[in-house]
Structure 1
Amino acid sequence: MERRPIILKNASIYGEKQIIEKGSIAMQDGKISGFDVDFHFGDDAEIIELPETYHIVPGMIDVHIHGAGGADTMDATFEALETIASVLPREGTTSFLATTMTQEQNKIEKALENAGLFIEAGQVEGNAETLGIHLEGPFISEKRAGAQPVGAIIEPNLELFKQWQELASGHIKLVTIAPEIEGSLEVISYLHEQNVVASIGHSDATYEEVVSGMKAGASHVTHLYNGMRGLHHREPGVVGAALLHDELTTELIADGIHVRPELISLTYRQKGNEKVVLVTDAMRAKCLGDGQYDLGGQEVTVQNETATLKDGTLAGSIIKMNTAAKNMMQFTGCTLEDIIQMTSVNPAKELNVYDRKGSLAPGKDADIVVLDEDYEVVMTFCKGNLSFRRGDET
C-alpha cells in the first residue's frame, strides 16, 4: 500500500550540495522526492509547517553502539535489537551497526547469527535500520582491554572470522582488531579485500605496528584515545599514528568524559571534518538513567552520566548522538554542516551505503531529522516514517 506523501516546509534544509533557506522537502514511499519544486501531490500530501529557525538534516549513523533502552546486541534476541532500533530515532539516529563485544565464542556466535537473521528478516518499519554488525573483539590486546573481558580475548584467526561472517549472513561490516597481535595482518588484509572496515582499537601497537596495519588495509580507529597506546614524544603509538595519517578515520566519543574537550578540539583541528566519525559506544543503560547494569556479564554502575566497572574502568557510554553533536560544536566551534559530515556522510561512505544514506538528495532513503534552534531533535523520519516526534513520548 502506498504511503501518503509528506512535505516539510519553511525550515533550512541541509542538502547534499547546498543549504536551502525556508525550503521544502518531500518524502514518498520511503524516499526523498525532491526540494522546492511543484511536487504534484495535490491534496494527498501531509504538509508539516516548521518554524524558520528549524534545521532539516540527514539521519545520523552510529557505527559503534552496543545497546540502549535496556537491550544489548549480546542479548542475541530479535527483541533486543528491535528495542535498540526503536529508541535510537529519539536522538536523531536512523541507522546503526549492532556492536558485539569480547565474550566466549559461543556467545559471540549467537549474537552474530541473531543479528544476521534480524537484518535479513526482523527489521521493523519505522525503526532505525540495522545496517550491519561491528565486531568489537575478541581479536584485541589484553593490555588494552578496557571493559572487554580479558579471559575471552583470543588471537586473530582468519578461518574463525570466515566462519563468523558466514554465521552472520555476511553482515559484519566493521571489525575492531589490534594490529600488533600475531595473525592480525592476515585478517586485516582479508577484511580489506572483502570491503569490511578494519579498525585499529583496543591495541597496544607501536607507531610502526599501526603503519603495518594500515599497509595491510586498516582504515579506521575505534574510539580514539580510549583502549590504546597513547601519544609519547618518543613513541607516537596508536594515537600519534591516527592523528598523523589521513588514511585513518577516527571515532570520537564526544561526551567530555572519555576524552577531554581540549583533546577533542585538537583532534578536530588535526583530522578535519572528513576524518572524524562521532559514535556513542552506548550500552544498555542509555535512556534509563542511573543504576546498576550488565555489560558482558560484568556489573556496571551508571552515575552522573558515567558508566564504570567496579574498578573504575569506563564501560561504554550512555550519551545520545544529538548530545554528542552538540558537544562537538561546543568543544570545537564546528558548524552544523561539519556535524552532518561527521555523523552522516563519513559513516555512510565508510559502509558503502552513501548511494542511499548519509545525505539529503532525491532518490535517497528519507532518513530525515528536524532540529530546533538549540539543535534538539524535534522529529525523526526513518525511510519516510515518522519515528519520533517530541511531545509524543510515552
Structure 2
Amino acid sequence: MSITLADARVVTPEGVHEGWLTIEDGRITHVGQGSAPGAGLGLGGRYVVPGFVDIHNHGGAGGSFPTGDPDQASRAVDLHARHGTTTLMASLVTASLDDLAQSAASLADLCEDGLLAGIHFEGPYISAARCGAHNPALLREPSPGEFAALLKAGRGHVRMITIAAELPGALDTVREAVANGVIAALGHSDATYEQTISGIEAGGSVATHLYNAMPPLHHRAPGPIAALLQDERVTVELINDGVHLHPAMTRLAFEVAGPGRTALITDAMAAAGMGDGVYGLGAMTVNVADGVARLAEGGTIAGSTLTMDVAFRRAVREVGLSLSEASEIASLTPARVLGLADRLGSVSVGKRADLVVLTDDLEVSGVMRGGTWITEPR
C-alpha cells in the first residue's frame, strides 16, 4: 500500500522545507519539495518530524517496566507512542539479581514482539552516594560474572547498563558489557574526572542523564560532567523537563556536545500521562505533586512524568534550538546510540516510516509507526 503525505513542512537534518513524502510497505520511498505529484493526504502545512526515540524510560500510564509485567509495559508503550515515541527502550531500576533477571526475561518477550527496542539496567552497579531514587540496600559492586547472568536472562535484548566508574570491578564490567555488544553508560556516580576518563577508556559511551546523580561542576574538581561532556566518544542524555535541568544547562550541554552527541530522554516513570498521586518505582514509593515525582522518603527526584513531545517542544521554545536540531537530538542521535540510525531517526528515503505530525504549536497531531497510523492526523 502506498501513502502520500502532502502539503507538509518536512523537518530533515538539513532543514525544514515545504513538500511531501511517499510511504510504501512501511518505508519512506520519496521525499520531495513543493506540490506532491498526484493525490495524497493533505496535512495543511503541519510539520512532519521523525518518530521520537527514547533510550531511557521506566514507564507511563500507570505501568512500570521494572515490574516486568507485560500488561503494564504495553500500557506504557502505548502512552508514549501516542506522544510520538515510536522506538522505546525499557529501563529497569536497582533490585535483587533474581528480580532483575525475571524482569529482563519478561521484557525480552516484548522485545521479540517488536514492542520494545531493548532493556536498560539502571543499577544495581551504581554509587550509594549518588543513587537518587534507587534502593541503597540493594546496590552491589560491579561484577562481570553477575552481569553475564543478567545478559543471559535478557536473551540478547539487553542493550545498555549504567555503571558508576569509580566502583571496584566497574572497568572490567564495562569491558564485559562492550564485548557483548551492550552499551556501557556512566552515571549515578561520585567519580572524579580521572575515574570517569578511565570509564570512557574502558568503553563507556553514554552519560546517564548528564548533570543528575553526579557531582556538580567545580573549577578545581571538574568531576564526571566535564569528562563526559568533552569526550567525543560519549553521547549525553538530557532530561529536558524544566525540573531536572535549567534550560541554560541543557543549552550548555548542547553547545559543547552538539546535536550528534546529545540525546533527549524522558526518564519517565509510571505517573507519566497520569495525575498526581502515589506510585511505585521498583521497590520505592513515589509521590507525584504538580507533575513532579519525588521519593516519599527524603523527597529525592524520582524519574519524571515527561513525554518526548514535551521534551522536543521545550528544546525549541525554552532552549532555543531549531526544529532540525531538536529533531536530531530527539530521534536521530538516540537512534545512533542504539545502532539503528540506518533504519530510523530521520525523514529519509529508505528508512522506516516512523513519523510525528505536529501543529504550528508543536503539539502532536498524528503518529505513524512503520507506515501505520497509531493516531491519525487531526
> TM-score under structure 2 normalisation?
0.95
From 1, 8, 13, the equivalent of 1:11 is 8
1:104-127, Cα deviation, whole Å (9 max, x unpaired): 122111110011122113x4xxxx
Q: Secondary structure at the match of 1:262?
A: helix
Describe how 1:54-73 pairs up with structure 2 within 5 A.
Answer: 54-73=46-65
Say if 1:390 and 1:9 are closer, same or farther in 2 by CA, change over 3 A: closer
Letter of the 2:51 counterpart: G
Q: Name the aligned partner's letter for residue 42 of structure 2.
A: E
**Do structure 1's residue 306 and structure 2's residue 292 form an aligned pair?**
yes
**Other structure's SS at 1:100 match:** strand
* Structure 1 residue 193: Cα displacement: 2.6
Deviations 1:240-290 (A, max 9, x none): 212322222111101111112222222222222221100000000101111
State the AA in 1 paired with 2:31. F
* Mapped partners of 2:13, 2:228: distance in 1: 28
Secondary structure of the equivalent of 1:327? helix
CA–CA distance in structure 2, aligned partners of residues 260 and 16 of structure 1:
26
Structure 1 residue ranges (4+ consecutive) displaced by more than 3 angstroms after TM superposition: 15-20
Q: 1:75 aligns with which of 67, 70, 75?
A: 67
Q: Which residue pairs with 1:126 in the alignment? A: none
Within 5 Å, give how 1:129-148 maps onto structure 2. Answer: 129-148=115-134
Q: Residue 32 of structure 1: which of 28, 34, 43 is its match? A: 28
Which secondary structure does the structure 2 equivalent of 1:231 belong to?
A: coil
* 1:140 to partner: Cα distance: 0.5
Count of aligned positions: 375
Q: Does 1:236 align with 2:222?
A: yes
> Which of 114, 117, 121 is matched with 2:109 structurally?
117
Paired position in structure 2 for 1:199: 185
The question of whether the paired residues in 1 share the 8 Å contact of 2:15 and 2:324 is answered with no
**Matched AA of 2:276:** D
Q: In structure 2, what is the Cα distance between the partners aligned to 1:331 and 1:201?
A: 25
Distance 2:9 2:75 in 1: 31
* Post-superposition offset of 1:36: 3.4
Quote the residue 1:49 is aligned against.
42
For the residue of structure 2 that corresponds to 1:130, the secondary structure is coil
Q: CA RMSD in A?
A: 1.8
2:374 is the counterpart of 1:377: no
1:245 aligned residue (209, 222, 231): 231
**Match of 2:85?**
93
Q: Distance in 2 between matches of 1:281 and 1:19?
A: 29
Moved more, 81-90 or 145-154: 81-90
C-alpha displacement at 1:18, in angstroms?
Answer: 5.5
Report the Cα distance in structure 2 between the residues aligned to 1:264 and 1:118, rounded to whole angstroms: 33
Partner of 1:257: 243
Q: Secondary structure at the match of 2:112?
A: helix
* TM-superposed deviation, 1:191: 2.0
* Equivalent residue letter for 2:4: I
Structure 1 residue 186 displacement after superposition: 0.7
- Alignment counterpart, residue 320 of structure 2, candidates 333, 341, 361: 333
Give, in angstroms, the shift of residue 25 of structure 1. 1.2
* Structure 1: gaps (5+ residues): 124-128
Cα offset for 1:41?
Answer: 11
Contact 1:220 1:249 in 2 (8 A): yes
Q: Which runs of no fewer than 5 residues in structure 2 stay unpaired?
A: none
How far off is 1:181 after superposition? 0.5
CA distance in 2, matches of 1:347, 1:261: 20
Q: TM-score, normalised by structure 1?
A: 0.91
Task: State the Cα deviation string for residues 61-117 of structure 1 (Å, max 9, x = none).
Answer: 000000011111112122122112211122111011111000112211111001112
- Using the alignment, how far apart are the partners of 2:268 and 2:78 within structure 1? 15
Aligned-pair identity (%): 35
Of 244-253 and 64-73, more deviation after overlay is shown by 244-253
Aligned 8 A contact 1:117 1:168 in 2: no
Distance in 2, matches of 1:304 and 1:390, equals: 30
Taking a change above 3 Å as real, the CA distance of residues 229 and 6 of structure 1, as seen in their structure-2 partners, is same
Structure 1: distance between partners of 2:377 and 2:22 = 20
